[in-house]
Amino acid sequence: MIFTVDIGNTTITMGLFTPEGELLFRGSIKTDKNKTPDQIAIDVLDMFRLKQSDVRSVTGAVISSVVPPMTSAMADAIRQLCGVRPMLMGPGVKTGMNILAEIHNQLGSDIVAYSVAALQKYPAPIIVIDMGTATTLSYLGKNTYEGCVIAPGVRIALEALSGRAAELPHISIEAPASIMGRSTIDAMRAGVVYGNAGMIDSLIQRMEEAAGPAATVVMTGGNAGPILKHCKRDIIFDENLIIDGLYYLYQKNQDRRRKRND
CA distances to 33, 90, 134 from 10, rounded to whole Å, are: 10, 20, 10
Q: Does domain 98-243 have CATH number 3.30.420.40?
A: yes
Q: How many CB atoms lie within 10 A of CB 129?
A: 25
Q: Rounded to two decimals, what is the model's pTM?
A: 0.87
Domain boundaries along the sequence of the chain: 2-88, 98-243
Confidence of residue 259 (pLDDT cuts 50, 70, 90): low
158-179 tens-digit pLDDT: 777 776 665 666 767 778 788 8
pLDDT, tens digit, for every residue of 182-231? 888 888 888 888 999 999 999 999 999 999 999 999 999 988 988 999 99
Q: How far is it, in rounded angstroms, from Cα 84 to Cα 171? A: 43
Report the half-sphere exposure of 76 (CA within 13 A, side-chain side). Answer: 11
**CATH dotted code for 2-88:** 3.30.420.40
Residues belonging to the chain: 262
Task: Establish whether 110 is a catalytic residue.
Answer: yes
Q: Which of 46, 76, 110, 234 is catalytic?
A: 110
Give the SS3 label for residue 132: coil
- CA atoms of 225 and 53, how far apart (whole Å): 28
Q: Do domains 2-88 and 98-243 have the same CATH topology?
A: yes
Mean pLDDT for 237-253 is 94
Residue 101 pLDDT > 60: no
Mean pLDDT computed over every residue of the chain:
88
In angstroms and rounded to an integer, the radius of gyration of the C-alpha atoms of the chain is 19
